[in-house]
Structure 1
Amino acid sequence: MNQLKQLGQMKKLVWFWAALLCVSLWNCSDDENPASEEQKEEAVISFEGELSEPNSSFIATEGEVDGFYQRTSFSDPQALVAFSHYFSGQSFGGGFTYTNGTDVTTSGYTNLSAITGAGRDGSVYLTSNANEYTPARITNLQVGKYRFKGAWVTNTTYDYLAMKDGNDGGIGLVRKFGVGDWFILTAVGHASDDSEIGRVDFYLADFRDGNSMILDTWEWFDWSELADASYITFEMSSSDIGDFGMNTPSYFCMDDITLQEN
């Protein structure tokens, strides 16, 4: 009987020490990973509901004269980021605008629609014309609270048809993409003193190494390498080069820009 009693006490002691070890490991885990208790807050940029007419786009009414265009900027409804914007009269010139276009068949620069015919989550999304004359820039207006995380991107109908069919709306500069061709969107991060802190590439079309892809869906563009940038500018490059530079239209679409809490 004494032996059975001692055995029972030993079992209880083993369970006690096992439970104590589990509690210790739990506390150490929490101490080493304080961020694990809660995820960082994220803010997603949206212009949903900002356009009252179907197949319309935002065009500013006032700006500073800059070459052939007038230049200004606009921010999202939450005032988290600002976008460069170039326009002439009632026409979009470059930088960024937001649109609810659905036209996936009409070629040419007047069609600002995404090749998807809609935004990633709704009807309104951003369209950009990014070149040296109309730089595309996104500025973080709340660097003390948020940093850049990334965005969803796709082709416009304009550049998609130019690459797929060699149809640029009658201008006649582009050629149909084939083996070895590529079209790249580059995000360039800048510090507050305008110095470059990094750059990341995203292929909007890729015909290298046996591929034959022209993007026609929304895909995630990761900006984690540029997270601490004060602003991001965008550059475009293509294998279709002519006497006056890149022939491929310098357009792309963007939606659900995502910021993450510091």
Structure 2
Amino acid sequence: MKLNFGFLIYGAAFLTAAMFTACSDDDDQVLPVYTITTVSFDKVPESMIAVDEYGSNYYSSYDGEQVKSGYMARIGETDTYVQFPVNYLWQEWVPGNPWMYEFYNGGFVVSDFTNMTGADYTNQCSVYNQSGGHNDANFIVANGYSVANGSSVSYDKCAKIYLTDKTGYQVVASDPDQPVSGEAHYGTFNSVWVCNTTYSYLAMKDGNGIAHALKDDNGWFKVVFVAMDKNCKPTGKTVSYYLANFDASKTKESGLDNEIRTGWNKVDLSGLGDNVCTVAIDFEGSDVGAYGINTPAYVALDDLEIKVNE
């Protein structure tokens, strides 16, 4: 969760369906009115964009003003907003275990970096695409993946997209150790454009001492979009999209034949259902070690299309 978000939309496409009345012998049927918005990030204030390829201003150690307010975008003229926060979690390795905003906890960073050669985590905010985002320079980078806890799975460290009221996700002023949320809203996530980050792409291609080169192990890697309810519990509906595949048995389902995906590609998210309030960005892959996935769990996103009823 994240404090005080104020998201901006650029190039937003607002489409409000007209209200039709279908007459029958018994009564009139009124179809719902809805709004469709495409959220991009090209007019985000400069102060909210990653200051370097590491995203230093998204950490508490930054020697300057840490990004805490973030972005919130209103869906047309409705009372629904979409939010892309950095996770606000308790710090298990910090004395006293305080709650803090840290990009290493998972979440989103707005970026415009296109370094296609930096192969380590200091280049985690670069997209593997010379021109930057899908239709403009800016995009968002999602980081984090789910962790198995016995028979259950925790999505706490996944990046999450929230639909909410204008209050958004905030921290109780009187008790900063306890994050709370605004009112959950619901909608349909229609589609999003996806691209590999440089950090992930080069790790999958060449390995990096922790991650293996996927071609050496007939490996694969994919992003998984997980639909969630207002309590951030999975609804059971997911959409998977392969970012790389070198496993012959997965060629058909992945659409990739011994290759890593390049460029921006549109992903259909309609399989998440019509009443979704949160989408977690998770990852799965073949290269797994004692602490989880070895492949860097990052993906760049842009031009997210959302529909909400009015």
Alignment TM-score, normalising by the size of structure 2: 0.61
> 1:186-201 maps to which residues of 2 (within 5 A)?
186-197=224-235, 198-201=237-240
Q: Does 1:75 align with 2:75?
A: no
What is the rounded CA distance, in whole Å, between the counterparts of 1:90 and 1:104 in structure 2?
28
- Residue in structure 1 matching 2:44, options 50, 58, 61: 50
What is the rounded CA distance, in whole Å, between the counterparts of 1:145 and 1:92 in structure 2?
26
Which residue of the partner structure matches residue 139 of structure 1? 162
What is the rounded CA distance, in whole Å, between the counterparts of 1:180 and 1:173 in structure 2?
16
What is the rounded CA distance, in whole Å, between the counterparts of 1:97 and 1:176 in structure 2?
26
> 1:149-228 maps to which residues of 2 (within 5 A)?
149-166=190-207, 168=208, 172-178=209-215, 180-197=218-235, 198-209=237-248, 211-226=257-272, 227-228=274-275
Give % identity. 27
Q: Which runs of 5+ in 2 are unaligned?
A: 1-21, 25-29, 61-65, 76-80, 92-99, 148-155, 166-183, 252-256
Instruction: Tell me, yes or no, if the aligned pair for 1:72 and 1:86 is still in contact at 8 Å.
Output: no
Instruction: Tell me, yes or no, if the aligned pair for 2:194 and 2:265 is still in contact at 8 Å.
Output: yes
What is the rounded CA distance, in whole Å, between the counterparts of 1:61 and 1:158 in structure 2?
19
Secondary structure at the aligned position of 2:121 is classed as coil
C-alpha change, 1:182 and 1:146, in structure 2 (3 Å) is same
> 1:24-63 maps to which residues of 2 (within 5 A)?
41-52=35-46, 56=51, 59-60=57-58
Q: Does 1:84 align with 2:78?
A: no
C-alpha change, 1:31 and 1:248, in structure 2 (3 Å) is farther
What is the rounded CA distance, in whole Å, between the counterparts of 2:222 and 2:206 in structure 1?
18
What is the rounded CA distance, in whole Å, between the counterparts of 2:73 and 2:278 in structure 1?
18
The letter for the 1-side match of 2:280 is T
Deviations 1:22-79 (A, max 9, x none): xxxxxxxx979x98xxx964201122122438973674577xxxxxxx9967333447
Deviations 1:158-211 (A, max 9, x none): 010001111x3xxx1111111631101111111224442211211011112261
Secondary structure at the aligned position of 1:256 is classed as strand
Q: Does 1:115 align with 2:128?
A: yes
Secondary structure at the aligned position of 2:108 is classed as strand
The letter for the 2-side match of 1:42 is I
Instruction: Tell me, yes or no, if the aligned pair for 2:186 and 2:276 is still in contact at 8 Å.
Output: no
Q: Does 1:125 align with 2:139?
A: yes
Aligned residues: 221
Superposed CA RMSD:
3.6
The letter for the 2-side match of 1:175 is H
- Residue in structure 1 matching 2:277, options 219, 226, 230: 230
- Residue in structure 2 matching 1:97, options 109, 120, 125: 109
Alignment TM-score, normalising by the size of structure 1: 0.71
Instruction: Tell me, yes or no, if the aligned pair for 1:184 and 1:203 is still in contact at 8 Å.
Output: yes
What is the rounded CA distance, in whole Å, between the counterparts of 1:90 and 1:230 in structure 2?
22
Instruction: Tell me, yes or no, if the aligned pair for 1:73 and 1:85 is still in contact at 8 Å.
Output: no
What is the rounded CA distance, in whole Å, between the counterparts of 1:31 and 1:259 in structure 2?
30
What is the rounded CA distance, in whole Å, between the counterparts of 2:58 and 2:213 in structure 1?
34
Instruction: Tell me, yes or no, if the aligned pair for 2:86 and 2:102 is still in contact at 8 Å.
Output: no
Deviations 1:62-104 (A, max 9, x none): 7xxxxxxx99673334472112304999974231111011111
C-alpha change, 1:109 and 1:60, in structure 2 (3 Å) is closer
Moved more, 139-148 or 246-255: 139-148
